[in-house]
Structure 1
Amino acid sequence: MSTAPLLRLVELRKRVPGGRLLFEGLSIALQAGELIAIMGESGVGKSTLLNLVAGLDSPDAGSVILGGVDLAALGEDARAALRRERIGFVFQAFHILPHLTLGQNVGLPLALLRAAPAEIDARAADLLAAVGLGGREADYPNQLSGGELQRVAIARALAHRPALLLADEPTGNLDPETAAMVLSLLIAQLRQAGAGGLLVTHSDVAAASADRVVRLTADGLVPA
């Protein structure tokens, strides 16, 4: 018996506010445990596509279906709850909160879900260790390098064991050695959790680590 996809994008169309068409007819299915790399030129709408998948933006036509739920059928509060519970984000710009310790940053998704403090602390410690920052829970972001901050961002994105991981150029600002380390950690944690992932990247090296590579064009996603 076939397993239903974790994520289905069905005939998505999206225009920018000025009216320019970004893409239309965009359809793809992502299975649990699968990583798909999305490539494309700057300005084609890769980050916009991730925002549509996360329910942060709405398509002009088509459907985003996560875990069998059509996001268009949900109100804003329900979409926000779905993001907190089922989606993890890794941003190119890190978005690590400077006034929180590393442990508090990593544990933030669990805190938003009102997990027990002991569970939050244990999970944050485990994930920081997994990304090579064990024992640094009490440190602050200003004590870290860019590569270390990206590792914290990966740990935070995985803290609540999301079903879907969205990563927007997670290695874009890193040197090749650090980028390879960060990507390896991200994929290892993704596989361990059995989560699906969409990886937006300009890097052929990063894309080669994915199960599938597609290119975003005005006509949707095509095999790269």
Structure 2
Amino acid sequence: MRDQVLRLTALSKSLPGGRRLFDGLDLALGAGEHVAIRGESGVGKSTLLNIVAGLDTADKGEVVVAGRAFAGLDEAARTALRRDAIGFVFQAFHILPHLDLARNVAFPLVLQNAPRAAALARAGEMLDAVGLGDRRRSYPKELSGGELQRVAIARALVHEPALILADEPTGNLDPETARQIIALLGRAVKERGAAMLLVTHSPMAAATADRQLLLTPKGLVSADG
């Protein structure tokens, strides 16, 4: 049996105006598992990711990441759990423009107080892994959108998190680059034994997952097939 990386139990969330996004939502992810969540705009996919990351709170229910529940943690402990156990890949990349690629990728390790030389060496390894090893001294403005997304993936994986959260990571990319990015993410998850929760509108991206789920007001339902 796979080690459990993520468990969501009976999550409920409503918007401030009272509209319920979802209720009674359950989900479990094991190491090496890739799950895609689809759904129409406004259904609450990004809100769900924020709840999983401890950036937002559910009205009811429990979130457990790498064996630790967010409930009851103070803000410092929540930040530490995010920093150590979760890697993020966003549609908008969020690469820091004033840092070269190596320092961008090393940033999660710096937050963990890793020695600078070791952090940069590890960042170089990750850039090699995503095919950008010869660009480590380049700056974000010199890269294409697909290359920036590769940097974002390297940064998300550099600290070997248990859980990868990807929010529309191919939304700004052309179809061929999108296929390459999704394949790269999928390989990384399998090889490193992480779990990945991917939110996407893309049928192509969702089709690469081990399971496809549809987010509805009643929770998650299977969308496979």
TM-score, length-normalised on structure 1? Answer: 0.97
Residue number in structure 2 paired with 1:107: 106
Residue number in structure 2 paired with 1:196: 195
1:126 aligned partner, one-letter code? E
The CA distance in 2 between the partners of 1:9 and 1:210, in whole Å, is 19
Residue number in structure 1 paired with 2:92: 93
Deviation at 1:184, TM superposition (A): 1.0
Residue number in structure 2 paired with 1:163: 162
Instruction: Classify the secondary structure of the residue corresponding to 2:31.
Output: coil
Residue number in structure 2 paired with 1:151: 150
Residue number in structure 1 paired with 2:24: 25
Instruction: Classify the secondary structure of the residue corresponding to 1:27.
Output: strand
The CA distance in 2 between the partners of 1:140 and 1:189, in whole Å, is 24
Q: 2:38·2:199 contact (CA, 8 Å) conserved in 1?
A: yes
Q: Is 2:115 aligned against 1:116?
A: yes
The CA distance in 2 between the partners of 1:91 and 1:67, in whole Å, is 21
- Taking every aligned residue pair, what percent have the same amino acid on both sides? 62
Deviation at 1:8, TM superposition (A): 0.6
The CA distance in 1 between the partners of 2:18 and 2:104, in whole Å, is 38
- Structure 1 residues 38-77: aligned runs within 5 Å: 38-77=37-76
Alignment RMSD (CA, Å): 1.0
Instruction: Classify the secondary structure of the residue corresponding to 1:37.
Output: strand
Residue number in structure 1 paired with 2:125: 126
Deviation at 1:189, TM superposition (A): 1.3
Residue number in structure 2 paired with 1:82: 81
The CA distance in 2 between the partners of 1:17 and 1:106, in whole Å, is 36
Deviation at 1:75, TM superposition (A): 1.0
The CA distance in 2 between the partners of 1:68 and 1:137, in whole Å, is 35
Instruction: Classify the secondary structure of the residue corresponding to 1:123.
Output: helix
Q: Which runs of 5+ in 2 are unaligned?
A: none
4+ aligned runs moved over 3 Å, structure 1: none
2:121 aligned partner, one-letter code? A
Deviation at 1:69, TM superposition (A): 1.7
Q: 1:125·1:135 contact (CA, 8 Å) conserved in 2?
A: no
Q: Is 2:15 aligned against 1:12?
A: no
Q: Which moved more, 1:187-196 or 1:80-89?
A: 187-196
Q: Which runs of 5+ in 1 are unaligned?
A: none
Residue number in structure 1 paired with 2:171: 172
